[in-house]
Structure 1
Amino acid sequence: MLQESLHDPVFWARYTFAHEEGPGADRLGDLQGLLDDDDDDDDEDSADSSLDVAFEVGDGHHVVLSIDASADSYSLGITTPDLAEPAELGWDDLAHWHPHALRWPELDLICRAIAARNPQLQHPGAPLALLCRFAAVFDDDDVDQAVAAVDEAYAALRPPQWEGYWPCGADWLDRADFRGENVIWQRDEAGNLWAHQDDADRDGEPFYSTRLGPDSGTGDGFPHTPLRAVLSAARATVGDPQVPAGFQAG
């Protein structure tokens, strides 16, 4: 079901929230009528609109995307061989969203590892297009490179003859750009990264994330240890033992 949806502009208009005045809404055009019809269908088929998609990055470590299209709700989790169930990194919806779970270099690393494990999932391609909503960019990121990669990921899925609405890198950046928003990253001795935002000097969007503190040591809060394990597995998969540029704390 998801494979077919990846080439459907109605799916992407919903997935990116363009159908709810999100970025790209001004380009929907005649697609709005199809979206209205799709809403009516969801009322009847809501049980069929939920699914989990697991992407392996290496050695039994996965990134798990949970989709509930009828509720406009999407969440990102991770699994490791030591976890009984996925640990949630963040979620995105139209009510109380906290999507910003990953830094751009982390997402790029994850998607490169996914492609290395499964060449049919090219990078940039479907994994990046689906997962980019959970990543943000900051002052030390190569934003032009990130936007170009997201553009390429979306373009790889666009039907050849389709000329109507299609998501683009600029749409993603509209919700993911935290340059100049006083988001400061910190790292502890274990290598955990977390952020805080200085609200006193902030003029734009709040940084909604669960990644706002160090490892509690109690199993509550952001799953720093599982994320480190997933990123380590991804680095091993792509043969890159070094910490990618942009991982340094601010």
Structure 2
Amino acid sequence: MPLDKDLAARMTKPDFWPLYLFDDEATEAYDEEWGEEDEEELFRTEFSLGQGLGLELEFEPGLTHVNLGVVSPGVAEAETVGWDDMAHFHPHVMPWSELDLLCRAAALHDPALRHPGPMLALLLRFAFLAEDADPDAITPLVDAAFAVVRPAEAGVAGGLRDETRDLFEPRDLRGTGIEWTTRPDGCRAVTQHGRDRLPLYSLREPESDGFPFAAWSALLARASEVVGAVQGDPALRNPEVRAALDSCAEPDGHRHLGPLATALAGAGFDHPVLLRAVSEPVAPAEAAWAVETLAGLPQGELIPAWSGASRLIGGSSRSAPQP
């Protein structure tokens, strides 16, 4: 299901992203422009992964409220997994790895949902950085997503887009006692020991009865299935394709995308999303996750090898690759 047309149109307006990111000046100007008697705007869009599973996002600019729900078969309405506002927020829904996985799967399922693109930019506020988060793998995708949705905004901070830093700094829960546990029903839950710095605000805590654990687990399983299904394509066993993928898996692999695109086409590989990603990527990070998927590499392994150290929250200890 492509992005809701009303939301897609609204996203092109200059005030949309400041409103969505809860910019104080934009919110105040919006309140002054929209009187109490005006009908409040409400935007709703679904990101489908097929088989009746997906995510539903609702945004009410006038209330500075964003709600995220999981859609599942047999359930009439999306079940809330988190929300963000300026009062009683619970936005810590998922670690970065889950958000990236869901965006990859949605893009593979629906070519209109390009990754990085609107889905990542819209849902980033519901992700957080846990101990295993690698800023080097995250920054290139997030920067590219905001470059896609806000191409006129050139504002960067030390080589990093402002939106990337502003969204992740209050969601950097590394070193705050984040712990993942497995509930008796087999679903993963998150808790925190020591809330003295950045507290965890999540419905996904182990004893919670307000989080749809089974539906969320089914959604993640479906995402893994969609991404993993690519490996079943016989074209990927072609010797020329394998050789090209091996070259692309090197630190300078972005230099070998042309031969990979040619080899894939010659072997009869016809997945439009992945062919487009390696032949006409919106950014190197799009081609990188496509190569990871095609080569069966671990999620997030290749992106930092191509991009080097991140400036996100101090980056990491990885050294930038030499030209």
- What interval of TM-score do these two structures reach, taking the shorter chain for normalisation? 0.7 to 0.9
CA contact (8 A) 2:130 2:172 kept: yes
- Aligned equivalent of 1:210: 203
1:40-78, Cα deviation, whole Å (9 max, x unpaired): 223357534112111101211110001111100011101
Query: Aligned match of 1:67 in 59, 74, 80?
Result: 59
Give every structure 1 segment of 4 or more consecutive aligned residues whose post-TM-superposition deviation is greater than 3 Å.
34-37, 162-167, 188-191
CA contact (8 A) 2:155 2:162 kept: no
- Aligned equivalent of 2:108: 116
Query: In the superposition, relative to structure 1, how do residues 163 and 143 fare at CA in structure 2: closer, same or farther (>3 Å)?
Result: closer
Q: What SS does the corresponding residue of 2:90 show, helix, strand or coil?
A: coil
Distance in 1 of aligned mates of 2:92 and 2:197: 15
- Aligned equivalent of 1:155: 147
1:136-188, Cα deviation, whole Å (9 max, x unpaired): 0111111232232111111111234x446985211111121101111111124
Which has more helix, going by share of residues? 2
1:88-114, Cα deviation, whole Å (9 max, x unpaired): 100100010000011111111111111
- Aligned equivalent of 2:137: 145
Unaligned regions of 5+ residues in structure 2, if any? 1-5, 232-295, 301-323
Q: Does 1:57 align with 2:49?
A: yes
User: Matched residues, percent identical?
Assistant: 36
- Aligned equivalent of 2:308: none
Deviation at 1:245, TM superposition (A): 6.5
TM-score (norm 1): 0.81
Query: Aligned match of 1:6 in 5, 8, 11?
Result: 11
Correspondence 1:27-46 to 2 at 5 A: 32=25, 36-43=28-35
Root mean square deviation, CA, Å: 2.5
Aligned length: 225
Structure whose CA Rg is larger: 2
TM-score (norm 2): 0.63
- Aligned equivalent of 2:217: 228
Higher relative contact order (CA 8 A, sep 6+): 1
Q: Does 1:100 align with 2:92?
A: yes
Q: Does 1:90 align with 2:90?
A: no
- Aligned equivalent of 1:27: none
Query: In the superposition, relative to structure 1, how do residues 164 and 107 fare at CA in structure 2: closer, same or farther (>3 Å)?
Result: closer
Unaligned regions of 5+ residues in structure 1, if any? 21-31
CA contact (8 A) 1:58 1:234 kept: no
Q: Does 1:237 align with 2:226?
A: yes
Query: In the superposition, relative to structure 1, how do residues 179 and 59 fare at CA in structure 2: closer, same or farther (>3 Å)?
Result: same
Query: In the superposition, relative to structure 1, how do residues 93 and 233 fare at CA in structure 2: closer, same or farther (>3 Å)?
Result: same
CA contact (8 A) 1:58 1:237 kept: no
Query: Aligned match of 2:188 in 185, 193, 204?
Result: 193
